[in-house]
Structure 1
């Protein structure tokens, strides 16, 4: 019988699970206070979905009865646990991805894989996007045809702005982070966090993701 090949992302998740088991739990809870003890898991919410990190083996599982987390969702959680700085705080300074610390090298790929995908996915679907954002507890903002603030994690709010296509212009979207985002997670994780956000919104809106989306396997 041929042995099934394990993807590099699955291996990375397994490595992070081992790292989690070696973390000082008290220190971890100080850095990521949104973690909650729940039936042998540390529970955390990621774009409205409840997941749990097993205190037994460090693996991550769904706690909301929906599908198990994919590797992108898992790594977003693991890197939050690994990179969040003690004493990090929300700055109320909203910036696009390219203006986050150390983001410049990733900005061109981010535009193609995230903001362009966001714009294309919801072109002609502003109503569905609004519904999806509201279903995630979004707070409406005055800018854009659709503008809402939602939480990737409790410590990492994001702002999604969308202008639908008209006779002259194609649909345009933008995603803003608080400047503190890189105090809570790795800069490359900001890319995958935006990616999960777009896919989650598309799922809730009932529309397919369009464009060259970032994807882990």
Structure 2
């Protein structure tokens, strides 16, 4: 929890120190109606970030969960402006991804596999709730926009006598230009939680 708070505090400071026009231009965000905040799409929902204090609000006027708020602030600050490349890479292929690959499989991919691998229909319903679009991958696959310029792919394979069920989360190869590998690890875990607990 302490690390989470530290990351969040740092993310707020970095956000408030950055020119809003620059963040909007690079991230695919927009000004809120009163121009006192920035609107950003995150997993198919609109969030508003206050330019006064960096507080992140969900569409229902509730504060965003700390991990979601931190990721939104980090993306707005760090996004390079580059569009998706349409090439999927695994977590292992991210910069220093090898150091967090096993935890990523355990904390992000395995929960999706356990909850949804043997129910492709439910998997696609859950993906659709995050504005996911079907793609040809695994026994069922979906492309989900985490942020305007940062799509993820998630796929499941049903188990059989020879192979166990599994799930995987892939990143567009542009991802490291928008978030650090550590932040992308959290993003994958948040996708898993949103798929499992809609």
Instruction: Answer yes or no: same fold by TM over 0.5.
Output: yes
SS in 1 for 2:89: strand
The alpha carbon displacement at 1:73 in A equals 0.5
1:159 alignment counterpart: 153
SS in 1 for 2:84: coil
The alpha carbon displacement at 1:199 in A equals 1.1
The alpha carbon displacement at 1:121 in A equals 2.2
2:60 alignment counterpart: 65
Larger radius of gyration: 1
Map of 1:1-20 to 2, 5 A cutoff? 7-20=2-15
1:54 alignment counterpart: 50
Q: 125, 131, 150: which one pairs with 2:125?
A: 131
- The answer to whether structure 1 residue 43 and structure 2 residue 39 are counterparts is yes
Q: Runs in 1 of length 4+ with deviation above 4 angstroms?
A: none
Structure 1: runs of 5 or more not aligned: 1-5, 205-217
The alpha carbon displacement at 1:96 in A equals 0.9
* Root mean square deviation of aligned Cα: 2.0
Inter-partner Cα distance in structure 1 for 2:176 and 2:30? 19
2:194 alignment counterpart: 200
8 Å Cα contact 2:104-2:189 kept in structure 1? no
1:212 alignment counterpart: none
1:151/1:165 CA distance change after superposition, 3 Å: same
SS in 2 for 1:38: coil
Query: Which deviates the most, 65-74 or 156-165?
Result: 65-74
- The answer to whether structure 1 residue 173 and structure 2 residue 167 are counterparts is yes
**TM-score, length of structure 2 as denominator length:** 0.89
Structure 2: runs of 5 or more not aligned: none
